[in-house]
A and B are shown apart, each in its own frame.
Chain A
Amino acid sequence: MSVRTAFDTARGEGRAALVGYLPAGFPDVQGGIDALHAMVDAGCDVIEIGLPYSDPVMDGPTIQAAAQQALERGVRTSDVLRTVEAVAATGTPTLIMTYWNPVERYGVERFAADLANAGGAGLITPDLTPDSAPEWIAAADRHDLDKVFLVAPSSTDDRVTMTTAACRGFVYATAVMGVTGARTTTSDLAGPLVARTRALSPDGGADLPVGVGLGVSNGDQAAEVASYADGVIVGSAFVRTLLDHPDDRAAGLRALSALTDDLANGVRRG
């Protein structure tokens, strides 16, 4: 199922979609599944599941710490796919966000097939741009999977055009020049980037939602971003909530639900 359905539903309700991220295997595999279920129950429209990787160039310290914890506890690619299956079973469109080497190592065709079989919607690839991705694009198309590539404030118009033409599901606009991490204010680069991305998308963005990521941590920020974007992507703030409750899973889940609720209300105010 493409994440496009969730964006269409949100658009139909006159609001942005809330996209929530957690790395698989954090705090452990079942704990991660429980946390993602809590986020779905509290209002996330789309789920991104991170594939923990040893060399996460784009991740800030919060997500890196969670991924490192997952790796140290032995999370495997098969666990990530198992997590996708458990979340996708809720009916919420579910993507994997992954650096490229684990996919190449697993086998691109095999990964696409197993992701599709698990009910996954597709991949977000932070270190794979469309011009380096012919093998993935072909495999994704064969298995009817979303291809979510990133645009950045530094992207040229030509690259935005090339990237949006290659995307399916949505296009991921990185709102700041920097790594992941909650920020106290949202970026003033985000709005212009979204407008430019829409203008350079096929059909002026009518068929390709634009999600904005990097930095949102509360409902007010979500409302601000939702005023100009089709999707609000939140990662580090969710991870931080669980990191802040290392010894009390129930309290962590309650805090996660409360944050999701705040963010879900935010995208409805935007």
Chain B
Amino acid sequence: MTTDTTPTSYDADAQGWFGGPEAGWGGRFMPEALVAALDELTVAWQDAMADPGFVGEFDTILREYAGCPSRLYEAERLSAKVGARILLKREDLNHTGAHKIRNVLGQALLTKRMGKTRVIAETGAGQHGVASATAAAYFGLDCTVYMGSVDTKRQALNVARMHLLGAKVVPVDSGSATLKDAINEALRDWVASVDHTAYLFGTAAGPHPFPSMVRDFTRSIGDEARQQVLELTGRLPDAIAACVGGGSNAIGLFTAFLDDEDVAIYGFEPGGEGVDTPRHAATIHAGDRGVLHGARTYVLQDADGQTVESHSISAGLDYPGVGPQHAHLSAIGRATYLPVTDDEAMAAMALLSRTEGIIPAIESAHAIAGALRVAERLAAEKGPDATVLINLSGRGDKDMGTAIEYFGLGDPDQVTERPVGDPDSDPRADRSGAPA
């Protein structure tokens, strides 16, 4: 495997603007106190990515430690259900169970190169926190993870993992006590500790250079998948799909295909209880242009520019902003972003579990649900050779608490006559819209 760092025509400019300063997506809206650190990081990241030694070491760590390249898996039973070829990029098989290990290993390796000894991170579902704690343990760095107190409760297993890995977990009670507030608290820590601390940002959002840097550290998802799908099918897929919260797994997949104009690109946002309700996190679909956490992007906000509390059944997607490159790709029409409701995602979680024996993260289930809609349409247009590549960004172990509650599982005396999510027996599945 080789990490391809070739620039694409969709890259940000030197100031971090996607589409140029006129389009105004991205940039850097940060306290002056952090500008020197961001400049230092920008130079270090650019130097590192131009250094074959660094890139080679990163590739080796991904291969030997994280288990990359991840497999490309043809989901034949799922394909049979929709009448199109469904290919799954199995990021759930990576060490720590998600795509996020790529990003943190890259950032932590860069931290070592910069001579810093401590890392901080924010986390929502806990997956980035676990990955950060893992990378810190691997490289021998001190690690503090900020996590909204709402999330520490709903992701207690991941909190325990972080503790076991040696990280300090700080619950954040301010604001909505979720991911966005954890980011605020991590930024406050960073202002005071920037001389020896690196901020391992968890998604392709935030001030320049984070959106581009995180993209660089995750783009091997798409580079691998592109090569794998060509080897498997002899051609590029008709469509690719990923879930989008902040958007790191999505931009990691999308980057390799941006210049392939015949490949349709889909990002699926958390539609929560519906985008016509206040309970969702469909930022591109329902948000407005604004500045959040250092970048101009789409933001869920009220008439006064106050960030609106978001909702998703997936803590990992529960974020009122989105990476600015996604805002740009949406604005220019290169990628299409559509909402998937909580119910649709949970139905897809059950469907993939039942048809393929793969329990996806609820984040990834959003991509499954949305991509199956796309696949049905493509199958109708192009027949059974229509091919959809889905990034299965993470595994569902961490989400079993939510699944137990949602599906009413876990009673040891319960006799399950029909599987959960079965459209013939589960009323939630009837509302899903996901093909059965």
Is the beta-carbon distance between A106 and B37 smaller than 8 angstroms? no
Point out the residues of chain A lying under 8 angstroms from B205, CB to CB.
Answer: none
Q: How far is the CB of B46 from chain A (nearest CB, A)?
A: 18
Contact with A along B158-181 (1 / 0, CB 8 A): 000000000000000011000011
Is the beta-carbon distance between B29 and A100 smaller than 8 angstroms? yes
- A101 beta carbon closer than 8 Å to chain B: yes
Beyond A55-B175, A150-B33, list 6 extra A-B contacts (CB 8 Å): A54-B175, A61-B174, A101-B307, A102-B304, A104-B290, A127-B29
The stretch of A13-21, A89-97, A171-179 that contacts the partner chain: A171-179
* Contacts A64-B174, A105-B290 given; does A150 touch B31 at CB 8 Å: yes
Contact with B along A166-198 (1 / 0, CB 8 A): 000000001001110000000000000000000
* Contacts A57-B184, A101-B292, A105-B290 given; does A174 touch B33 at CB 8 Å: yes
- A152 beta carbon closer than 8 Å to chain B: yes
Is the beta-carbon distance between B175 and A57 smaller than 8 angstroms? no
20 A-B interface contacts by CB (under 8 A):
A53-B305, A53-B306, A54-B306, A58-B33, A58-B188, A100-B291, A105-B290, A105-B304, A105-B305, A131-B15, A132-B28, A151-B32, A152-B32, A154-B33, A154-B37, A155-B32, A163-B32, A177-B33, A177-B195, A178-B188
Point out the residues of chain A lying under 8 angstroms from B27, CB to CB.
Answer: 132
* Contacts A55-B180, A56-B184, A64-B174 given; does A102 touch B31 at CB 8 Å: no
Q: How far is the CB of B187 from chain A (nearest CB, A)?
A: 5
Total A-B Cβ pairs within 8 A: 115
Contact with B along A95-134 (1 / 0, CB 8 A): 0000011111110000000000000000000111101100
Q: Which residue of B lies closest to A79 (CB)?
A: B304
Q: In the complex the two chains form, what is the Cα distance from A129 to B296 in whole Å? A: 14
* Contacts A55-B292, A127-B294, A159-B36 given; does A177 touch B174 at CB 8 Å: no
Q: How far is the CB of B328 from chain A (nearest CB, A)?
A: 17
Identify which of A106, A128, A153, A163 gathers the most chain B CB atoms within 10 Å of its CB: A128
Contact with B along A60-99 (1 / 0, CB 8 A): 1100100010010000110000000000000000000000
Identify which of B33, B180, B294 gathers the most chain A CB atoms within 10 Å of its CB: B33
* Contacts A126-B31, A132-B28, A152-B31 given; does A55 touch B192 at CB 8 Å: no
Is the beta-carbon distance between B175 and A101 smaller than 8 angstroms? no
Is the beta-carbon distance between B305 and A127 smaller than 8 angstroms? no
Q: How far is the CB of B304 from chain A (nearest CB, A)?
A: 5
Q: How far is the CB of A227 from chain B (nearest CB, A)?
A: 24
Q: Which residue of A lies closest to B290 (CB)?
A: A101
Q: In the complex the two chains form, what is the Cα distance from A153 to B36 in whole Å? A: 10
- B191 beta carbon closer than 8 Å to chain A: yes
Contact with B along A12-43 (1 / 0, CB 8 A): 00000000000000000000000000000000
Is the beta-carbon distance between B35 and A77 smaller than 8 angstroms? no
Q: In the complex the two chains form, what is the Cα distance from A105 to B288 in whole Å? A: 9
Point out the residues of chain B lying under 8 angstroms from A106, CB to CB.
Answer: 304-305
Q: Which of A55, A61, A76, A126 contacts B307 (CB 8 A)?
A: A55
User: Helix, strand, loop or mixed for chain B's interface?
Assistant: mixed
Interface size on B, residues (CB 8 A): 38
Point out the residues of chain B lying under 8 angstroms from A102, CB to CB.
Answer: 304-306
Chain B residues 391-415 with CB under 8 Å of chain A are none
Is the beta-carbon distance between A174 and B175 smaller than 8 angstroms? no
- B75 beta carbon closer than 8 Å to chain A: no
- B98 beta carbon closer than 8 Å to chain A: no
Interface on A for B, CB 8 Å cutoff?
53-58, 60-61, 64, 68, 71, 76-77, 100-106, 126-129, 131-132, 149-156, 159, 163, 174, 177-179
Chain B residues 364-421 with CB under 8 Å of chain A are none
- B213 beta carbon closer than 8 Å to chain A: no
Contact with A along B178-208 (1 / 0, CB 8 A): 0011001001100110110000000000000
Interface on B for A, CB 8 Å cutoff?
15, 27-37, 39, 174-175, 180-181, 184, 187-188, 191-192, 194-195, 288, 290-294, 296, 299, 301, 303-307
Q: Which of A68, A77, A103 contacts B174 (CB 8 A)?
A: A68
Point out the residues of chain B lying under 8 angstroms from A127, CB to CB.
Answer: 29-31, 291, 294
Point out the residues of chain A lying under 8 angstroms from B307, CB to CB.
Answer: 54-55, 101
Is the beta-carbon distance between B175 and A177 smaller than 8 angstroms? no
Q: Which residue of A lies closest to B181 (CB)?
A: A55
Q: In the complex the two chains form, what is the Cα distance from A131 to B175 in whole Å? A: 29
Q: How far is the CB of A59 from chain B (nearest CB, A)?
A: 8
Q: Which residue of A lies closest to B180 (CB)?
A: A55
Identify which of B15, B39, B175 gathers the most chain A CB atoms within 10 Å of its CB: B175
Q: How far is the CB of B336 from chain A (nearest CB, A)?
A: 26
Is the beta-carbon distance between B290 and A177 smaller than 8 angstroms? no
Identify which of B34, B181, B303 gathers the most chain A CB atoms within 10 Å of its CB: B34
Q: How far is the CB of B320 from chain A (nearest CB, A)?
A: 9
Is the beta-carbon distance between A178 and B192 smaller than 8 angstroms? yes
